[in-house]
């Protein structure tokens, strides 16, 4: 179930401006809802899971229990009175966001309620359908929960297929983490992209962009995502070239092992599973799900190549693999 970040103030213009800012910047892994009426706020909080409530102090004063939320922050019009539960209302939106994020990191240092499920997607050797399979699975999951797509590789082709300019990608995320700035700057920047309900981090463009990254750096990306909270599932696509290949296999809750219909593809998968057996990795084998997805053919040439994945034959195949699909 999706969780919400709710902004409530009786000043409609203020709510609209702040809601637009947070929606554009994608600073928090929650759906954003703006509300101006206290009664409407109460009804929303009682009917929807609210992770964070940012509301006018006059609305919250003496009646916080009316508005169930994991965390409540009051907006005060009085300067110089900020503390852990109160922020100055009339400050620049980026400054307010920075303070809100810093407080959110402290409140979610344990990883938030529930543990994020990590789904791995792997195929031995180059296999073009792997990226389409992983991205489609993440899109499908995002329809019912907060999901994130990650790709620990390069030459994915996603920048072109998604028609996005080169903005922040995994290279920038790894840099921030190596600099010890894995929280506020990671989530307050443009590292997180969005397609529909799905959040994703663009992969590195080429292998040279990942030179110098070590095993612990990739694992720290997952730690940062999980520590942030809010994501119920992350779909991770990776290959044997990733320095953290074996630790990632162990960390995934389930691993979809993709093969094509050709003999070479099946032979590669056989070599991989045979190697796991030889190394005694029964723990990895036990959570490995073989999959031979159909070839993706978009319905039309509308340009929405990735958006059509969900409703394609490939999307139907993935839904059949997922629990409750």
pLDDT for position 110: 36
Alpha helices, DSSP H, located in 115-257: 129-142, 158-161, 170-178, 184-188, 215-228, 245-251
Alpha helices, DSSP H, located in 68-119: 93-107
116 vs 229: CA distance, rounded Å:
8
137 vs 14: CA distance, rounded Å:
37
pLDDT by residue for the chain (325 residues), tens only, comes to: 567 899 999 999 999 999 998 887 766 667 899 999 999 999 999 999 888 899 999 999 878 889 998 889 999 998 887 887 889 999 988 888 877 776 654 444 333 444 789 999 999 876 778 889 999 999 999 988 889 999 998 777 777 777 776 667 888 888 877 776 545 455 545 678 888 889 988 888 777 777 778 888 888 888 888 776 578 899 999 888 888 889 999 999 999 998 877 788 888 888 888 888 888 888 888 889 888 888 877 655 555 777 788 888 888 999 888 876 5
pLDDT for position 108: 40
Phi then psi dihedrals of residue 104, to 5 deg: -65, -35
Contact 60, 74 (CB under 8 A): yes
Contact 217, 101 (CB under 8 A): no
4-8, strands of its sheet edge to edge? 31-35, 4-8, 50-56, 72-76, 86-88
Integer CA distances (angstroms), 26 to 56, 171, 240, in order? 22, 19, 31
pLDDT for position 149: 93
Q: Give the pairing type, strands 198-200 and 193-195.
A: antiparallel
Alpha helices, DSSP H, located in the chain: 12-25, 38-47, 57-60, 93-107, 129-142, 158-161, 170-178, 184-188, 215-228, 245-251, 263-278, 282-286, 313-321
136 vs 312: CA distance, rounded Å:
9
Residue with tokens 């031979």: 292
Integer CA distances (angstroms), 170 to 82, 173, 182, 189, 202, in order? 35, 5, 12, 13, 6
Domains located in the chain, CATH noted:
4-107 (3.40.50.10850), 117-321 (3.40.50.300)
* 154 three-state secondary structure: coil
Tokens found for residue 196: 């529909």
pLDDT for position 119: 95
């Amino acid at each position: 179930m999706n969780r919400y970040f709710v902004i409530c103030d009786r000043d409609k213009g203020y709510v609209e401006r702040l809601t637009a800012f947070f929606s554009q910047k994608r600073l928090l892994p929650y759906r954003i809802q703006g509300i101006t009426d206290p009664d409407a706020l109460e009804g929303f909080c009682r009917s929807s899971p609210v992770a964070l409530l940012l509301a006018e102090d006059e609305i919250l004063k003496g009646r916080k229990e009316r508005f169930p939320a994991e965390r409540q922050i009051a907006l005060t019009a009085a300067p110089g009175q900020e503390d852990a539960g109160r922020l100055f209302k009339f400050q620049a939106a980026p400054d307010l966001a920075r303070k809100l994020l810093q407080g959110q990191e402290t409140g979610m240092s344990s990883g938030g309620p529930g543990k994020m499920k990590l789904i791995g997607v792997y195929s031995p050797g180059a296999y073009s359908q792997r990226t389409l399979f992983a991205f489609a699975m993440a899109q499908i999951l995002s329809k019912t929960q907060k999901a994130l797509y990650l790709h620990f590789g390069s030459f994915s082709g996603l920048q072109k297929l998604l028609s996005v300019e080169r903005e922040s990608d995994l290279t920038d995320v790894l840099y921030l983490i190596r600099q010890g700035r894995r929280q506020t700057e990671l989530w307050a920047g443009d590292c997180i992209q969005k397609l529909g309900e799905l959040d994703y981090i663009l992969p590195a463009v080429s292998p040279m962009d990942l030179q110098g990254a070590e095993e612990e750096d990739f694992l720290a990306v997952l730690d940062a995502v999980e520590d942030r909270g809010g994501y119920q599932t992350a779909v991770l696509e990776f290959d044997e070239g990733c320095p953290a290949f074996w630790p990632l296999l162990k960390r995934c809750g389930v691993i979809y092992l993709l093969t094509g219909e050709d003999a070479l593809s099946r032979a590669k998968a056989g070599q991989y599973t045979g190697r796991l057996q030889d190394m005694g990795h029964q723990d990895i084998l036990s959570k490995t799900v073989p999959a031979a997805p159909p070839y993706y053919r978009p319905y039309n040439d509308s340009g929405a190549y990735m958006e059509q994945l969900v409703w394609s034959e490939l999307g139907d195949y993935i839904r059949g693999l997922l629990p409750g699909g």
